[in-house]
Structure formats: C-alpha cells, structure tokens
C-alpha cells in the first residue's frame, strides 16, 4: 500500500481553468454597478491572479472615489450569481482533469488548490467541472492571506504533515511563484496562463511547462512518482 507523502498545490484561474473572459466581464459589471466607466479589458487581464482589491487599483480611472472593497463586493456578487445560474463560463484547460486523476490514482499525493479567487466562485467552478473530489484541501483569500504570502502553503503543509521538500506549487502568475519562493517550496510555472514564461522565471520559478503532459513528466521525474 502506497503512502501519501507529497503535496501538489494548484492555482485555479489560468492554471486549471481559463477564466479570463469571466474575470473581464465581472470587472466591467462591477464597475458599472458602482457607476464607474468600463475598465480596459487588457489591463484587467494583465492583473489576473492578484488579490482583487489590489488588482482593481491597477485599472481604476482617476477621479472616482469608490472603495476597492465596494467594487470587490459587486464583483463577487456578480460572479456568485453567474454560478447560481450555471453561467460561470470557465473552460478547463486540456488534459488537466486527466492529470489530477493520475496524481490521485497514484496514491502518493495530497492535492490542493491555493487561489486568490473567492470561495463561492471556486466552489461553483469545481462543481461545474466535477473536480471537487480530486482535492484534499482548497484555500482561498476569503479565509487566508492572499498569495504571494506563503500562508496557504504553510497551512496545507501543516495539515498533512508533509515535508516542504516534497511540496510544489503550480501556477501561472508571479503571485503563485512568489508563494513558492516565500514558502521555500518548489514552484512550477505553466505556459498556458496569464503571465509570460520569462516573467515567471525571473520571479523564481524552478521550472516552466507547456502542457499537462509535460507537467506530469516533471512531477514524475522530480518526485519519483510511481503510478498504480
């Protein structure tokens, strides 16, 4: 019988699912609710992965004295409503569900999500793609300090009593890589997300992968994974 002794933490937006279209639409809707002109979609996309209140400051037009928390609340409410209506359009990236299954079936991995997404948006997304049962732990900024703080990783490591040397964060933005650097764990940047590969490498990523098959190969080689 194999024993779980490894921990893989996944970012969600831009790593497991392509949520850019939803995030841009949500920002636009939140700005409209708050009486603010539509943000530049390019700037919204460039700031995906940051804590929402921080990202909002990056594309807030001058001359509007609206609290980021108010806009953030409008954004979360819109996102939650889309989820309730079954309209949370976030397609899963090719091969990711199969990757999660292979890791789970190996019997050696604890799998987790570490995301700056809200809890309700994450839960709606996992339910829509039937992904919830793949994860042993899900961590969001509704409960925990956002990335690049190491807190999400440290909580997961403590929860499962895993050696940090056997822990990896997988993500597509500098905040994911920053979590890895700050928690002193391995970080793998994915090339299909929202930050460029060279940006991820310069932020401290230990490895960049271009697809889910390559990601599995890296995990297999680095952590000596043996499939059932």
Q: At what angle do helices 68-84 and 119-128 cross, to 10 degrees?
A: 20
52 vs 202, residue with greater confidence: 202
**Mean pLDDT, to the nearest integer, of 118-129?**
93
pLDDT tops 70 at residue 20: yes
Whole-number percent of the chain with pLDDT over 70: 97
pLDDT tops 70 at residue 29: yes
Q: Which residue has the tokens 């700031």?
A: 47
pLDDT for 228 equals: 44
Can you give the pTM of this predicted structure? 0.93
Domain boundaries, the chain: 6-18+91-223, 20-84
Using one digit for the tens of pLDDT, what is the confidence trace for 34-62?
999 999 999 999 899 887 778 877 888 88
Using one digit for the tens of pLDDT, what is the confidence trace for 94-104?
999 999 999 99
pLDDT tops 80 at residue 208: yes
Token digits of residue 137: 């732990």
Concatenating the DSSP letter of every residue in 30-83 gives: HHHHTT-PPPPHHHHHHTTTS-HHHHHHHHPPTT----HHHHHHHHHHHHHHHH
18 vs 223, residue with greater confidence: 18
Short-list 45, 76, 77, CA closest to 58: 45
20-84 CATH pick, 3.60.15.10, 3.50.80.10, 3.20.20.370, 1.10.150.240: 1.10.150.240
**CATH number of the structural domain 6-18+91-223:** 3.40.50.1000
Asked if residues 17 and 92 have their Cβ atoms less than 8 Å apart, the reply is yes
Using one digit for the tens of pLDDT, what is the confidence trace for 56-85?
778 888 888 888 889 989 999 999 999 889
């Amino acid at each position: 019988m194999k024993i779980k002794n490894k921990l893989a933490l996944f970012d969600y937006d831009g790593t497991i699912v392509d949520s850019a279209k939803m995030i841009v639409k949500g920002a636009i809707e939140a700005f409209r609710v708050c009486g603010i002109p539509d943000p530049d979609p390019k700037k919204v996309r460039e700031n995906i992965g940051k804590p929402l209140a921080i990202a909002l400051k990056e594309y807030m037009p001058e001359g509007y004295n609206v609290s980021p928390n108010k806009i953030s609340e409008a954004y979360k409410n819109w996102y939650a409503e889309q989820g309730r209506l079954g309209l949370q359009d976030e397609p899963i990236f090719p091969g990711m569900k199969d990757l999660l299954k292979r890791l789970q079936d190996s019997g050696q991995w604890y799998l987790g999500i570490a995301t700056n997404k809200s809890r309700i948006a994450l839960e709606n997304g996992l339910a829509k793609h039937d992904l919830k049962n793949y994860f042993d732990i899900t961590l969001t900024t509704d409960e925990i300090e956002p990335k690049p703080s190491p807190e999400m990783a440290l909580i997961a490591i403590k929860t499962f009593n895993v050696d940090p040397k056997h822990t990896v964060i997988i993500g597509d933005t500098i905040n994911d890589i920053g979590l890895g650097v700050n928690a002193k764990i391995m970080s793998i940047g994915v090339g299909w997300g929202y930050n460029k590969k060279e940006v991820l490498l310069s932020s401290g990523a230990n490895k960049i992968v271009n697809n889910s098959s390559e990601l599995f190969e890296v995990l297999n080689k680095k952590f000596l994974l043996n499939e059932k």
